[in-house]
Structure 1
Amino acid sequence: MDGLLNTNKPKGITSYDVIRFIKKNFHFKGKIGHSGTLDPAATGVLLVCLGKATKLSSLLMAQEKEYEATLKLGIRTDTLDEKGKILSRIDKISITEEATKKVLFSFIGEIKQVPPLVSALKYQGRRMYEIAREGKDVPRKARRIIIKEIKIKEIKIPFISFRVVCSKGTYVRALCRDIGEQLGCGAFQSNLIRKRIGPFLLKDALTLERLKERGLSSSLIPISEVFNLIKRVTSKN
């Protein structure tokens, strides 16, 4: 069985838990993998490749991504999200809406971003989140990313909600951190929804319950259709 599943990962489970769900409920024993990890606290589009479609993983991961995020100003955490240990806290935040907008829009374009320590990136053959669990730190090089678009949805201090369109390799947690640092008060990511990976949209994504109802074969996007969808969106850009 070959093809792509556009799934809607729920909050509170890992990306690999989605793969475990598919293996268990459909007794799938072939090749399987996901393209682009979502943190347990995040929800939204998670593409799962089955069979020969696993060869498309790099192509899918290279696609432009769109997120809806909310950050909370005044608190820094070690994981850059709400699950982490609080490192610092500022209770009184005096920031104008104009200053906030100016800082957010300053991140549009090609920028360099230092990835979070708590991430699936590898250092000397080990996942960095494994090293972080031991209370250790590792040197992390800033990586080139592109923020194509930022649209502010709501500013209600200490919360800022925004939409971001970005290149592969972008950590929205790190973007929230950097916005907080530019505003001089720190910040962490309090919510994240992945709305899109390339042409694959959240509105078309299947919840795990819906996937179970429909069945695996009727939910798969054929490999030929995956190529056609990517070609279509690439030609538009």
Structure 2
Amino acid sequence: MNKSGILCLYKPKGLTSFDAIHKVKRKFGVKTGHSGTLDPEAEGILIVAINNATKALPYIGVSDKVYEATLTLGLKTDTGDIWGEVVEKQTLCDLDENHVKAVVLSMVGKMKQRVPSVSAKKINGKKLYEYHRQNQAVETLYTDIEIYAIEFLWFDGQNICFRAHVSNGTYIRTLCEDIAEKLETIGSMSSLLRSKVGNFTLKDAHLLEDIECLDEVLLPTKDNIALPVIKDTQFQTPILHGKRFDLPTDEDLVFVDCGEVFAVCERTEEGNFRVKRGLW
């Protein structure tokens, strides 16, 4: 039986996130889960939890992400990327590179972002992409996001490449469309690479075909919990027996590490703590 842990997987183009983790499951005979879906034609980091680590997925620090994207101007599709159906084309005017760069850099900050029609967001219990497939019109949804930083990489007259550090829930295809709109034209995302997820970078990522022994590439679950940590073996007994106990902290949600036994614990109304999720 393989041990539990976190796998930083490199998902190639042409593969859904579900297919990627299914391949891991089938190859190694393990239980799998993942955090942060990548579109089939996108590539890059996919965080996969193995065996008991699946219980830790809500607490792993993977909210911030970095993407490298290419935006193709003069083309609009029904999905916001070049793999959708083309709905409009425009002849491009000559664009000054300095102006393009200034527009890209202007996207930094907090904003309400339109949720694309191919999103998994739900309306009345049904995902937006399901409405899209059935050609059913629905209200436009918006979500609060933040672009922490954005870097202009290059412009060749029609294609713009940029790198963006974004909050969880940011849609890069919508960001591409918004940049095009600011340039007074239309555009669609034509490539996407996720190069960083939380503290995970491309140097941590493994191609599935290169992995021979899963245990050798797994990262410890407890090292990737994004919560304040209390290390003390004295709390092992109350954690194992589901009892309430006191902790020396002002935090309301903490990670208690007792060695082989570790858990996410939450403050009760009485002020002491109880186990919210055992992770060992």
| TM norm structure 2 | 0.77
Q: Report matched runs for 1:141-156 at 5 Å.
A: 141-156=141-156
Once the two structures are superposed, residues 10-30 of structure 1 have per-residue CA deviations (whole angstroms, 9 ceiling, x without a partner) of 0001000111101211122x3
On the 8 A contact 2:67/2:194 being kept in 1, the answer is yes
CA distance in 2, matches of 1:176, 1:164: 11
Offset, 1:145? 0.6
Once the two structures are superposed, residues 136-194 of structure 1 have per-residue CA deviations (whole angstroms, 9 ceiling, x without a partner) of 23213221111011111101110000110010010111100111111111110000000
Offset, 1:50? 1.9
Q: Which segment is superposed worse, 51-60 or 200-209?
A: 51-60
On the 8 A contact 2:59/2:227 being kept in 1, the answer is no
Structure 1 202/127 Cα, relative in aligned 2: closer, same or farther at 3 Å? same
2:16 maps to which residue?
A: 14
On the 8 A contact 2:79/2:118 being kept in 1, the answer is yes
Once the two structures are superposed, residues 101-130 of structure 1 have per-residue CA deviations (whole angstroms, 9 ceiling, x without a partner) of 222122101111011110222222222212
| Larger RCO, structure (CA 8 Å, separation 6 or more) | 1
| TM norm structure 1 | 0.90
Percent sequence identity over aligned pairs: 40
The letter for the 2-side match of 1:227 is I
On the 8 A contact 1:121/1:128 being kept in 2, the answer is yes
Instruction: Report SS of the residue matched to 2:120.
Output: coil
1:5 maps to which residue?
A: 7
The letter for the 2-side match of 1:48 is V
2:95 maps to which residue?
A: 95
The letter for the 1-side match of 2:141 is K
Structure 1 77/144 Cα, relative in aligned 2: closer, same or farther at 3 Å? same
The letter for the 1-side match of 2:206 is L
1:235 maps to which residue?
A: none
Q: Which segment is superposed worse, 139-148 or 11-20?
A: 139-148
2:33 maps to which residue?
A: 33
User: Where does structure 2 lack aligned partners over 5 or more consecutive residues?
Assistant: 230-280
The letter for the 1-side match of 2:135 is G
Structure 1 220/62 Cα, relative in aligned 2: closer, same or farther at 3 Å? closer
Q: For the aligned residues, what is the CA RMSD?
A: 1.9
The letter for the 1-side match of 2:175 is L
Once the two structures are superposed, residues 56-102 of structure 1 have per-residue CA deviations (whole angstroms, 9 ceiling, x without a partner) of 32334752100111100111111111110111111233322222122
The letter for the 1-side match of 2:43 is T
Q: Report matched runs for 1:107-146 at 5 Å.
A: 107-146=107-146
Instruction: Report SS of the residue matched to 2:66.
Output: strand
Instruction: Report SS of the residue matched to 1:103.
Output: helix
On the 8 A contact 1:113/1:143 being kept in 2, the answer is yes
Instruction: Report SS of the residue matched to 1:88.
Output: strand
Structure 1 230/26 Cα, relative in aligned 2: closer, same or farther at 3 Å? farther
Instruction: Report SS of the residue matched to 1:92.
Output: coil
CA distance in 2, matches of 1:186, 1:122: 27
CA distance in 1, matches of 2:14, 2:137: 25
User: Where does structure 1 lack aligned partners over 5 or more consecutive residues?
Assistant: 232-237
| Greater helix fraction, Structure 1 or Structure 2 | 1
CA distance in 1, matches of 2:227, 2:219: 10
The letter for the 1-side match of 2:29 is H
Larger Rg: 2
